[in-house]
Each structure stands twice: as C-alpha cells, then as structure tokens.
Chains A and B, each alone.
Chain A
Amino acid sequence: MKRWLYAGLLALGAAAPAADALAQAAPRNTLVVLREIDADNYDPPRSTARGAGEVIYMMSDTLVSLDWDQRTVRPGLAESWTVSEDGKTYTFKLRRDVTFCDGKPFTARDVVYTIKRWIDPATRSPVRWRAGPVDDVVATDDYTVEYKLKEPYGELLYQLTLFFGSIVDQATVEKLGPNFGVQGFNGTGPYCWGSWSPRQDFVLTRHPNYRWGPPLYNNPAPQVDRVIWRIIPEANTRLAALQSGQGDVTQYIPQFALAGLRNVPTVKLARQENYFWDFFMGFKVDKPVVSDPAIRRAINLGTNRNAVVQATFFGAADPADGYLNPRTVGYDAEAAKMVPRFDPEEAKRVLDAAGWVPGPDGVRVKNGERASFLLYSLQTTEWRRMSEAMQADLRRIGIDMRVQLWDATVGWGKLATQEFDAFMMSYPYISATDGFSLYFDSSNRPTPNRMNWNDPETDRLLRIAKTGLAESDRMQAIAEAQRRITAANVWVPIAREQLWVAASQRTEGVRPHGIYGVGLYKGLDIRLTR
C-alpha cells in the first residue's frame, strides 16, 4: 500500500511540471518572444530603452528604414525622398496605401504632428537632439512632407530610421495624454497594441491591412497572428523556457550559454555581423589621477583586453581594438591603430617616466598622491566580471581601481554625478558621427559626455561631421575627431557585443537586425510552422 502511495506521489511529481509545460507551450500562430526587462513606457520620443524600441518597431513605422548592412537607408512610410542642394530641405514622398491600426488613413499631417511633437520641449524627449536642427516640418500636400533644417545635418536619415520618430496618431495621443504608450497606442505598424502587463508580457495582434513593410523584408505583411513579448528576468529560466518550447525567440542569451546552445538541436542560432553595441570605460579627464594622460595611457596598455573579454563574455563578444566597429560608416582605421595594445611592461615604463613610482603597498605614488581611482558602473554580471578582471590587470602595473557597482534603479542617477573618476558603460550607435557626437560634444556634459571632455577642436570637427555639405568633408572631420580622442586615451575600448538570436524549431525566417540593439526589428519574415 505504502509503496503504491509513494509511486503515485512520484508519478504525480513528474507529471505536474510536464503538464505545466504543456499548458504553457506556445499557442498556434502566436510568436512568443522572451526578453529580460520591460520598458518604462512605449511612447516613441519618451523612452530611450531598447525594450521600448523592440515593441514600437512592430507597432509603428518610421519614414525611412535601415537595411541589414546598417548603412543603407531604405524606404519606409516614405517611398522616396530628395535632398535640396544646400542640404537643408528633405522632401519625403509618402505611400498612399497606409492606414493606422484604427483604420484611419495615414497622411502627411501625421508626419508633421509626429516630428513636431518629438521636438516640442513640452514632450520632454531625452532624444530631441536626434531630430536635428529643425526649422520647420510642413505638409505641402497630403502625401508630401518637407523637413526643413536650420543647417545641414548629414545624420538625419539615419536618425529617422530610429524608433523615436515612429509615426503616431494625433487623436489617440491627445485622447490618452500622458498615458499614450502606457494604456494604448495607435500606429501604422505590422502589429497593433493588444495589452500590456508591465514586467510580465506585452501582447500584439496582427494589423490586418498591413502590406507596406520596408523592402528589406521578403514579405511586405506580417506572417503571424499574435506576438507576445514575455519578460523572464532570470537567464537560466529564460534558456529553459526556450528549450522547452515555452518561447520561440530571444536575443537575450546569457553569454556563458551561447557555446552550449549551439549543440542544442531544438534551437536555431543566427548572428548579425553588422551590429554596433560597444562596451567601454571612460575617464573623467578633469579628476585627479585620471587627468594625467600617462595614467590613462598606462591603463589602456595594462588591460589585457582579450582575456578580459573572454572571461566576461566567453566568446560571445569581440575585443574592441578601436573606439568604433570597423563596419560603421565613418570608421577611421588610422585612429583604431592608435589605441594602445596590451603591453604591461610598456605600461610600467610610461608610469615610471611620468613620475609614478611604486609605493609600499605596490600602488604607485606621485607627489604624495596614490595612483588610485574610483569606478562606477551598474550591478550586472557582465560589469562585475569585467571590472574585476580589469582591476586585477591594473593591480599588476601598480594602479588601484576601486569598483563601486550600483543597482540600475539608482545607478543611472549616480552615473550622472561628478562623484566618480571613471565609469563603464555600453551603448548602441549607427555611425561614427552618431556615437562621437553623443559622447564627446562639450555641450553634452555632464551626461552623456560623462568624461567632461571639453575640447573646442573636437566640437569644431563634430560640427563639420554633422553639418558639412560634402560627404568627403564630413568623413574627414569625423576621422580627425577619432584620432584626437584616441590620442588622448579618453576611453578604454573593451568589447563589441555580438548579436545572436536563438529561435525554436517551429520558427522560420528569424534574422537578427540589430538597429538600436533591437534584434527582431519588424520581424515580417518570421513564420511559425506549427
């Protein structure tokens, strides 16, 4: 009797999780996307989170789109465009067959409203600057928009591919007020707002009329009825969910698991080579110790980048031997060569020559000051491992790096202060000018220019790179800016993240894109076989 009872209990114990898994298995024609964190809101100009972009790209469209090579601008809601001789007026010809999710036809007035709302100070968009020096945006007829600038802005088309300029419907924005993108949405995208349970899941339903997808996809219309964006914060749980069929796609693959996942037959992995998301350490160049160029050079020389990146990412990232990805528009190979290569002996010589002599505890000293500096970063597994590995490298050359990692809830606030000497961060970019204007323009102090880099020559070069009329002038200027910054060792470039997307057996057509770090972009080619 007792034995039967035990056997029954055992069977029940084994069956319960299986039944649970079956109950949770992804339903027919519903794509379940797994991700790590949610976004604070889904209003295009009001969130800078990658998590917001993931859903907004599916709910709405931008005027122009970005091809898989991350450099060719392709049509979006605008089927064609022209740029005036002086580079100040962009004329967009819009598609005529587009409707919003509520059925309302899309016209030039929606574009005017969207762009004006983006740059309106009342919207308080943290990315207002991305729209460029806008003079005015006018609808010359129902399907023509003139985007007028105060001065040329060579980055405009790239910036307009980002989700911040996604077209929204005025009536819905006004009806929902501050709750737009929180309680509802109305866009022209392949999917429409279904429901949002913050930190749990976001349900999207297919936009039935949609057939105006960007030409980079084989299909102009979505192939799946519903998309559910599900949050699973714990890496191992997310992996298990993918392997057991509770989820179909994820780009949030823990680095340590990537190699193992290649051997799992039920999981398909795809990589996007043109992916620009870099990890770096930046110095506050006006703080003691790290204000010394010799210290910054020695830290660059003393960091065993390959080993640090291997220990942190287990092969799922590439060591960054330059400030930018070689596949980026505007990348300068000369500047990349100026980044010091790992050479601890040279690091010690640089420090000796600059008067930093080893002190009693092994940390170098100059004029009574210890070669010690405080690093801030966020409390995640990657930053912890990366900072710890670098800390050990720097100890060997006599530099003491104190590490303080903050929880993300307070971390971003702390990273906007002047309390620290160096910081570690990662960021997405589209082009050299995009990345460098963000971080090295003196007007972007104290954040995102957390280095307090205040150099009129850099500002001048960045200005030419942004507003120069001839492309050759712009490229020349951004190349010079890269050499200038690299020579000063304002950063330690560390790693280039790789973009991988893992998908279940029943999916087809999953191809990682990576615009602003977003893996699926519009996902128009994704199909489910069962």
Chain B
Amino acid sequence: MSAAIEPLVQQEAAPPKRPGTLARLLREPAAAFALVLVVLVIGAALLAPVLSPTDPFDNDLSLAMQVPGSPGLPLGADAQGRNMVTRVLYGLRVTLLMGLASVAIGGILGALVGFAAAYYRRIDGLLMRLMDVMLSFPAILFGLALAAIFGPGIQAVVLALSVATIPLMARIVRGSALAVMGLDYIEAARATGMSDARIILRHVAPNCLSSIFVFATLRFGQVILLGSALSFLGLGAQPPIAELGAMASDGRNFLFFAPHIAVIPCVAIFAVVLAFNVLGDALRDALDPRLRT
C-alpha cells in the first residue's frame, strides 16, 4: 500500500535529497556491523571503570589461571589471578588510547608536511625525500631502537608509531592537496590576497579531509596491530598495566595449559582491527565522490 504512495511523496520533495554519509555508510551491512562494533568497543573502553567487576591491578594468586566460566570469572583469570573481563576492558582502553595518540600525533604532523609540500613546491622534493627516508625504517625496528634508548613503555610505542605514520599521511595529503591546488578557486583566493595559512586552512584542507579521515581510520587498525606486536615483544606496556598485546605475550607460555589467557586478548585485538579496517573501507566508499549516486 505504502509502496504505491511513496513515489508521489518523493516527487513532491524536489530536488531529491542526496543521502548523507552516515546513511550511505549504513547501507552496507558489513559497514554497519563494523560501526556498531567500533561504537561498542569505544564505549566499553570508556566505561571500563564502571563495567569492570574488579580492580584491574588487584590480584588473587589463589585464582590464577581459572578457566572461563568459573564462578565470578566469565572469562577466567590470568596467571596472576586477575579477572580477565577487567583486564580486557582496561586493556582495550590502553590499546585504543595508544592507537588514537599515535594516529593523532603522526596524522597531524604528516598532514602538515603534506600541505607544506603541496603548497610550497620549492621544498616539495626535499620534504618527500625526507619522508622516503622515514618510510625505509620498519616501525617495529624503530620501536625496538626507541625502547633500547628510552626504556620500554607506552610512550616509546606511541612515539615509534607516530613517526611511522608521518610519511604515510604526508604522501596521501600531498597527493590530494596537489589535486586541489590546481583548481581555479585557489588561484582566485591568491588573487584576492589571502595569506598562505588561510588558503591552506580554509580552501585546501577541507577538500582533503575525506582522504585524511579514511586513511586515519585504516591506519588506526594497523597501528593497533603494530602497537600490540611491540607490547607482545615486551617493549610496550610495563607491569601491571593491562594492554592487549602484553596480555597475549603473558599468556603465550601457558598456551597448552590455560589457552584462554592468550586467546582472549588476541580475539579482542582481532575484533578491534577488523572493525576499524571494515569501517575504513566503507568510509572510503561512502566519501568517494565518484561513487556518489
């Protein structure tokens, strides 16, 4: 019944409204699922102190390695007898924060370099060769070196991952900024005597935002994976901080006896990375003007 009426309603509403980014995003089931998962993960991390049944650092050695499903321990206990639910919630927090900080610091610095390279063509070559040099350092190796110098810790991991993000972001931003730079309205803005900073901020940056956003989301997943790997190697979070990679590393020795200690944080890492990757992919499709209908 309503199907017959709807075309009429659409005709009345002219011109047809272009669906928003969010709507386009939600059209894809995988993307919708990823978005829900991301929201859940972030929510769980933010509410960790409220949701957690116990203190994250409080151990009870008599409960060590209790299997999932034991009384009061739905996900079991780790080797120190700490509730795995609490540890995973707090671990998500640290892991997400680590990813966010790395992507934010690396992304902002990288974007600045990218804009500078695109806008001031004289230093373009120099900046891009510098980025090439940075690209040649594997992030894990760089993290190892930093940890050796400053000591292992979350700061060292964030620094390493930020530095590893800078050249990637710079290249992407430079590419999209260059395309914008060739357009007439930039020429017009120049002619009216606008300052360089104003042109970059008001006219170039907003047109590059979608690619920055997509890349940052995709990078977030990669950064979490790299950060967890560094923590797994013992270079990241130091005891007693809960961090998913460090938790997996801790449980690796008991793989035959108490597999849940390693498997649960690994599943959490997997879910977070998958969610951000699918979301990043979907965002790219949703924000791509060529795919707009």
Residue of B nearest to A311 (CB): B61
Interface pair B240/A256, CB less than 8 Å apart: no
Q: Which residues of A contact B234 (CB under 8 A)?
A: 379, 384, 405, 407
Q: How far is the CA of A519 from the CA of B279 in the complex (A)?
A: 55
In whole angstroms, what is the CA distance A385 to B239 when docked? 9
Interface residues of chain A: helix, strand, loop or mixed (majority): helix
> Considering only CB atoms, which chain B residue lies closest to A260 in the complex?
B257
Min Cβ gap A276→B in Å is 26
| Distance from A183 Cβ to chain B, minimum over Cβ atoms (Å) | 29
The answer to whether B79 and A385 have CB atoms under 8 Å apart is yes
Answer yes or no: B59 CB below 8 A from chain A CBs: yes
Chain A 249-282: CB-based contact to B (< 8 A → 1; otherwise 0):
0000010110010000000000000000000000
Q: What's the count of A-B pairs with C-beta under 8 Å?
A: 69
Task: Name the B residues within 8 Å of A414 (CB-CB).
Answer: 151
- Inter-chain contact B80/A385, CB cutoff 8 Å: yes
Inside 8 A of B239's CB, which chain A residues have their CB?
384, 387-388, 391, 403, 405
Neighbouring B residues of A384 by C-beta, 8 Å: 234, 239, 250
Flag if B152 contacts A254 (CB, 8 Å). Answer: no
Using CB atoms, name the residue of chain B closest to A239.
Answer: B256
Question: Which of chain A's residues have a CB closer than 8 A to the CB of B151?
Answer: 404, 406, 414
Residue of B nearest to A410 (CB): B148
Interface magnitude class on chain B: 20 to 34
| Bound Cα distance from A351 to B64, whole angstroms | 29
CB-defined contacts of A84 to chain B, threshold 8 Å: none
Q: In chain A, residues 345-392, which have Cβ atoms closer than 8 Å to a Cβ of chain B?
A: 379, 381, 384-385, 387-389, 391-392
Beta-carbon contact of B147 and A407 below 8 Å: yes
User: Contact at B256–A236, with CB atoms within 8 Å?
Assistant: yes
Any chain A CB within 8 A of the CB of B213?
A: no
How far is the CB of A424 from the nearest CB of chain B, in Å?
Answer: 12
A389 and B250 CA atoms in complex are apart in Å by 13
Known A388-B240, A392-B58; contact A311-B148, beta-carbon cutoff 8 A? no
Q: Which residues of B contact A257 (CB under 8 A)?
A: 256
Contact, CB under 8 Å: A256 / B253: yes
Contact with A along B37-72 (1 / 0, CB 8 A): 000000000000000000001110110100000000
CB of B98 to closest CB in A, whole Å? 18
Asked if B148 and A381 make an inter-chain contact with CB atoms under 8 angstroms apart, the answer reads no
Known: A384-B250, A389-B61, A389-B80. A409 touches B152 (CB 8 A): no
Inter-chain contact A311/B152, CB cutoff 8 Å: no
B114 to chain A, nearest CB (A): 35
Task: List residues of chain B with CB within 8 A of the CB of A395.
Answer: 57
B81 within 8 A of A: yes
Contact A406 B255, beta carbon cutoff 8 Å: no
Distance of A505 Cα from B103 Cα, bound (Å): 55
One of A260, A304, A403 near B238 (C-beta < 8 A): A403
Q: Is B254 an interface residue (CB 8 A)?
A: yes
Which one, A236, A310, A392, A404, contacts B152 given CB within 8 A? A404
In the assembled complex, how far is the CB of residue A299 from the closest CB belonging to chain B, in whole angstroms?
17
A254 (CB) vs chain B CBs: closest residue: B253
The answer to whether B238 and A311 have CB atoms under 8 Å apart is no
Q: Name A392's contact: one of B57, B250, B255 (CB within 8 Å).
A: B57
- A235 contacts B253, C-beta separation under 8 Å: yes
Are A311 and B256 also in contact (CB < 8 A) when A403-B238, A410-B148 are? no
* A311-B80 contact in complex given A389-B59, A407-B147, C-beta closer than 8 Å: yes
Q: Which residues of B contact A236 (CB under 8 A)?
A: 253, 255-256
Q: Cβ of A469 < 8 Å from any Cβ of B? A: no
CB closest residue in chain B, given A380: B234
Given contacts A256-B254, A384-B239, A389-B80, contact A406 B61 (CB under 8 A): no
Answer yes or no: A307 CB below 8 A from chain B CBs: yes
Q: CA separation between A395 and B58, bound complex, in Å?
A: 9
Cβ–Cβ < 8 Å partners of A308 in chain B: 61
Q: For the complex, what is the distance from the CA of A256 to the CA of B234, rounded to whole Å?
A: 20
Q: Which residue of A lies closest to B144 (CB)?
A: A407
Q: How far is B240's CA from A310's CA once the two chains are assembled, in angstroms?
A: 18
Interchain CB contact under 8 A, B253 and A310 = no
- In the complex formed, the residue of A with least CB distance to B255 is A236
Q: What per-residue 1/0 map shows which CB atoms of A393-419 lie under 8 Å from chain B? A: 001000000011111011000100000
A506 to B149, CA, bound (A): 48
A392 touches B253 (CB 8 A): no
Contact B238 A404 (CB under 8 A): yes
Q: For A311, list chain B residues within 8 Å (CB).
A: 61, 64, 79-81
Q: Contact string, A40-71, partner B, CB cutoff 8 A, digits 1/0?
A: 00000000000000000000000000000000
In chain A, residues 286-338, which have Cβ atoms closer than 8 Å to a Cβ of chain B?
A: 304, 307-308, 310-311
What distance in Å separates the Cβ of A398 from its nearest Cβ neighbour in chain B?
Answer: 14
* Bitwise interface map of B from 234 to 260 toward A, beta carbon under 8 Å scored 1, else 0: 110011100000000010011111000
Given contacts A389-B59, A404-B238, 16 further A-B contacts (CB under 8 A): A235-B253, A236-B256, A260-B257, A310-B61, A311-B64, A311-B79, A381-B250, A381-B253, A384-B239, A385-B79, A385-B250, A387-B239, A388-B59, A392-B80, A403-B238, A404-B152
Q: Which residues of A contact B (CB under 8 A)?
A: 235-236, 254, 256-257, 260, 304, 307-308, 310-311, 379, 381, 384-385, 387-389, 391-392, 395, 403-407, 409-410, 414
Chain B residues in the interface with A (C-beta under 8 A): 57-59, 61-62, 64, 79-81, 147-148, 151-153, 234-235, 238-240, 250, 253-257
Which 10 pairs between the two chains have the least Cβ-Cβ distance?
A388-B239, A307-B61, A392-B59, A379-B234, A311-B61, A403-B239, A410-B148, A381-B253, A388-B240, A403-B238
Q: List 5 A-B contacts (CB under 8 A).
A: A256-B257, A385-B250, A404-B152, A405-B152, A409-B148
